[in-house]
Each structure stands twice: as C-alpha cells, then as structure tokens.
Amino acid sequence: MSTITNESVRHMLTSGYEESLDRSTKALLFGHLADLAWPIVTHYRSDLYHDVSWIMNFVDGPCTFYFSVDECGTSIGQDRELVALRNPILLWKIELQRQDNRTWYLWVTPDSEKI
C-alpha cells in the first residue's frame, strides 16, 4: 500500500522471472497510484480510469513519469510541467525499474522542485 510521505519509497511489484511488463504488473503499478489518490480525490475519481488507460497504453517497460492529485482529480504523464498543473504540491515522480531481469520495482518520489 502506498502512503504519502516526503521520502522516496520503493515497492516491489513482482518477484520471479518476468520477461516483459505484463498486465498484472501494470495493475499492481496502478494500485499504488490509486492508493495515493483515493484519500485526496473527492470529486472526479473517474480520472483514475484514464490513469489506468494511460498506463496500459504507454508503460511498456522501465520508464519515468509523473502523477499528481488534488480534490478534483488526477493527472498522469511524462511531461512534468503539464502534470504539475493539476497540483504542484502533490506531485510524484514515478520510476518503474527492473532488476536482474527478474523483479519489477516501483519508486515513488515526492517532487517538490519549483515549477
């Protein structure tokens, strides 16, 4: 479960041989983002549908992207400035990495650099 913190947090998504980033690993990635958003977003939680669609279409391997939330929804994408328009205070740098060609890791880092 992802929680809001000022520290960078690493989550292990899979352990075992995963040759490619499969749908279940993408679902685990989305679950961590949903955990970040749910306590904050009180309107337009349907944005999460668009977030999972973005993940399914654009996340195909190791990558970096950004995720931000406020009470009226979420924003996701590779353009930091565009994603930060949603909420520059609750903005995270999301890094998906694979180690040893076996295990997928998710790094969630608060991005507090001025826009």
Sheet with strand 73-77: strands edge to edge:
9-12, 103-110, 91-99, 63-70, 73-77
DSSP type of residue 49? H
Q: What is the pLDDT of residues 47-59, one digit of tens each?
A: 999 999 999 999 9
DSSP type of residue 13? -
Q: Taking the CB of residue 6, how many other CB atoms lie within 10 A of it?
A: 7
pTM score, whole prediction: 0.86
Domain limits, the chain? 9-110
Q: What is the pLDDT of residues 40-95, one digit of tens each?
A: 999 989 899 999 999 999 999 999 999 999 999 999 999 999 999 988 889 999 99
